[in-house]
Amino acid sequence: MVDQETWENTVLKKLKLPNGVVASNRIMRAATWMGQAEEDNRCGDTIIETYGKIRAGIVVTGFQYVMHEGQSVRRMISNSRQADVDGLKRLAGIIHSSGGLAAAQLVHCGCKGLPKYSGRDIFGPSDMEVPGLKGEVIQVKAMTVDHVERVTQAYADAAKRAEDAGFDVIELHGAHHYGLWQFFDPSYNHRPENDPYTGTSIEGRCKAMIDAVRAIKNTVDIPIQVKVDSSSDTVRPEEVGELTKRLAEAGAYCVLFSGPDPTRKPRDEEDVYFLNDAMVIRSIAQDSGLLFGLVGGIRSPETVVKLLTGDGDMDAAFDVVQLSRPIISEPKIMHRWTEEAKIGAQKPARCISCNRCFAAGLKGGVRCVQFGDE
């Protein structure tokens, strides 16, 4: 059980960002596709209402595509045109009104884009075939160097729109096998040795992600954090450690560790199921000056405190903890845990990781099907 003093001194400890903006606590709402954008992918009343219920120190939006070709699912937030700014401004505003800082997660989904939604060819690091949603085969075309550079500029342009809309933080999506990760992962990146984004060297594999960070940093004056996979079938955590050090040199202030599958079902696993890989990465990049965060399988206030303090069997503390499915089930879970700490009676998140919430996203929007609305 976590006592009130410990809770206040760890979880409710303020987080000062590099530009001086302060988050009220160390919990981030992890970026989560909600399937609630309008048909044209702008932010309307439905998604604004959903975000108005969330309580966290920093609220990261569901991924926002920076080019239409980079869309991968229906009703995904667009940050690819000037017409999106008004809705994004409403989105940032509702997050601020609930006491949180607003972070825009930016993405080009690369070869995980779908022609059904983008209405055009699908591009990635290399020519290859990938499976579609219904078992069909999708032919992916390799981006030219010029095309990659245009995507890099699209990240910077989207960051400027996010800044104009009032967002406090930019999060680059370099995880879940989406575009930037695809360049880093040799199972996707088959580009030859003489290509600047070659898959044959760590420098070439890192380049797309590093260039995106630098382009954004040269365009806006707000903090940049990056979410990465802690490993994959073809990437070792030691390699992610080298990437993480380069992200710090490029100007990121925080790196968040996740895993390849955003809807992982840890039925037979312990909680915090990316911890071991994340600790390896931390040990490599610990002198980089970065803040570090973790997401995945975090369900109890005791676990949150252990992650933030390094107590128990954890060798080092993290600076922030991200929650996704627990906040889908209980948008105000931070408020509940804080009130329960006052009487020494905190209960774990009610979320059981059934993943039915994401299936609901295709039928009106992501929501907790197991327990219903609060």
The string of DSSP codes covering 55-123 is --SEEEPSPEESSGGG--STTPEE-SSGGGHHHHHHHHHHHHHTT-EEEEEEE--GGG--HHHH-S-EE
Domains observed in the chain = 4-114+149-363 (3.20.20.70)
In the chain (374 residues long), the average pLDDT of successive 10-residue segments reads 92 95 97 94 96 97 96 95 98 97 98 80 95 83 98 98 98 97 98 98 98 98 97 96 98 95 57 91 95 94 93 74 95 95 92 83 82 70
Q: What is the DSSP letter of 294?
A: E
Dihedral pair phi/psi, residue 308, rounded to 5°: -80, -15
pTM of the model: 0.95
Q: Specify the pLDDT at position 267.
A: 47
What is the end-to-end Cα distance of the chain in Å, rounded? 24
HSE-up of 249 (CA within 13 Å, CB side)?
12
User: Distance (Å, rounded) from C-alpha 55 to C-alpha 57?
Assistant: 7
Q: Specify the pLDDT at position 59.
A: 98
Q: What is the DSSP letter of 31?
A: P
Residue 271 burial (CB count, 10 A): 15
Residue identified by tokens 């599958």 is 261
Q: Specify the pLDDT at position 312.
A: 59
Q: Specify the pLDDT at position 313.
A: 56
